């Protein structure tokens, strides 16, 4: 049995142990997958203890993704640009390899929910860690353009500059946006405190599809707003969550599980 875990604080609500347990059954892999809650100031020591126990890999979630990035001996291209990692692999020689599968999880789920991204004009709302991790995979999906907007414009501008060499990306001021988009993605944490990013209704046209990276049992606040102003379709981030897990699992185990099989069960389990 090979050992894996997710490290985050808090971690009790994490669905990762269930998801990876199901993936292991599906693909006949002999793994054990725990949930670990390091004290906020003891991520590194907790991680090193886990590695000493013979662990093969770990997922990292809030608030440790940026710190995990700094501890890696090697990083994938995606992780380098994301500036954060959610997937660690531990080699036999004791190295920590970091990857970021959030963006791939998002793009795969967008394609499942909304179809091909080719030629799409995409608005990314928010410029924090969640947004940054997804920009490169979006730019690599043959989209027409990516516009980043954020409550704090300067952060959107910085991100657009950082990814300028990788595709058609720019920042716009959230208050002066006046284009319509094919897809609008909410990456902000506004909804978690019952708030909405101040987007103008004009970004939503009659064929606009909206994706909220957060998820819940009920329709998310952002998706509720999107539907009320006429979005043709909405989806929440549960598929992204399961998709990033599937990609992590395939990095560790060399076999890609099917994320769709467990989606219905996970949604039913949500409280």
Binding site as annotated, residues for shikimate: 14-16, 61, 86, 102, 215, 244
Tell me 37's DSSP state: -
What is the smallest separation between the CB atom of 44 and ligand ATR, expressed in angstroms?
A: 20
Residues forming the site for ligand ATR (CB under 6 A): 126-131, 150-152, 155, 187-190, 195, 197
Widest CA span in the chain: 55
- Output 38 or 133, the one with its CB closest to ligand ATR: 133
Cα angle: 81, vertex 86, 90; to 5 degrees: 105
What is the smallest separation between the CB atom of 258 and ligand ATR, expressed in angstroms?
A: 27
Q: Which candidate in 25, 52, 56, 65 is catalytic?
A: 65
Instruction: Tell me whether residue 177 is exposed, middle or buried, using C-beta atoms within 10 angstroms of its C-beta: 0 to 12, 13 to 18, 19 or more.
Output: middle
The SS3 of residue 63 is coil
What is the smallest separation between the CB atom of 70 and ligand ATR, expressed in angstroms?
A: 16
- Output 130 or 245, the one with its CB closest to ligand ATR: 130
Instruction: Compute and round to an integer the Cα radius of gyration of the chain.
Output: 18
Instruction: Tell me whether residue 262 is exposed, middle or buried, using C-beta atoms within 10 angstroms of its C-beta: 0 to 12, 13 to 18, 19 or more.
Output: buried
- Output 43 or 90, the one with its CB closest to ligand ATR: 43
| HEC secondary structure over 193-251 | HCCCCCCCHHHEEEEEEEEECCCCCCCCHHHHHHHHCCCCEEEECHHHHHHHHHHHHHH
What is the smallest separation between the CB atom of 84 and ligand ATR, expressed in angstroms?
A: 8
Residue 75 near residue 103, CB atoms below 8 Å: no
- Output 96 or 130, the one with its CB closest to ligand ATR: 130
Annotated binding residues for NADP(+):
77, 126-130, 150-155, 213, 237
Question: 65 catalytic, yes or no?
Answer: yes
The residues annotated with a catalytic role in the active site are 65
């Amino acid at each position: 049995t090979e050992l894996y875990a997710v490290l985050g604080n808090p971690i009790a609500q994490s669905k990762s142990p269930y998801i990876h347990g199901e993936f292991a059954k599906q693909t006949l892999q002999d793994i054990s997958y725990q949930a670990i809650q390091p004290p906020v100031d003891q991520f590194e020591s907790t991680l090193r203890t886990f590695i000493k126990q013979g662990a093969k890999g770990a997922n990292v979630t809030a608030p440790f993704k940026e710190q995990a990035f700094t501890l890696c001996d090697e990083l994938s291209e995606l992780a380098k640009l994301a500036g954060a990692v959610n997937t660690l692999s531990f080699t036999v020689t004791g190295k920590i390899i970091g990857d970021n599968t959030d963006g791939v999880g998002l793009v795969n789920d967008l394609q499942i929910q909304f179809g091909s991204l080719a030629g799409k004009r995409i608005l990314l709302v928010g410029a924090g860690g969640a947004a940054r991790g997804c920009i490169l995979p979006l730019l690599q999906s043959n989209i027409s353009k990516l516009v980043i907007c954020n409550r704090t414009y300067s952060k959107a501008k910085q991100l657009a500059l950082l990814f300028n060499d990788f595709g058609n990306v720019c920042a716009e001021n959230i208050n002066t946006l006046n284009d319509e988009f094919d897809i609008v993605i909410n990456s902000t944490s506004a909804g978690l405190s019952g708030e909405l990013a101040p987007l103008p209704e004009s970004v939503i046209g009659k064929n606009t599809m909206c994706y909220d990276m957060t998820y819940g049992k009920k329709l998310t606040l952002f998706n509720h707003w999107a539907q009320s102003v006429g979005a043709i379709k909405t989806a929440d981030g549960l598929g992204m969550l399961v998709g990033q897990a599937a990609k992590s699992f395939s990095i560790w185990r060399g076999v890609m599980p099917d994320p769709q099989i467990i989606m219905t069960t996970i949604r039913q389990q949500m409280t």
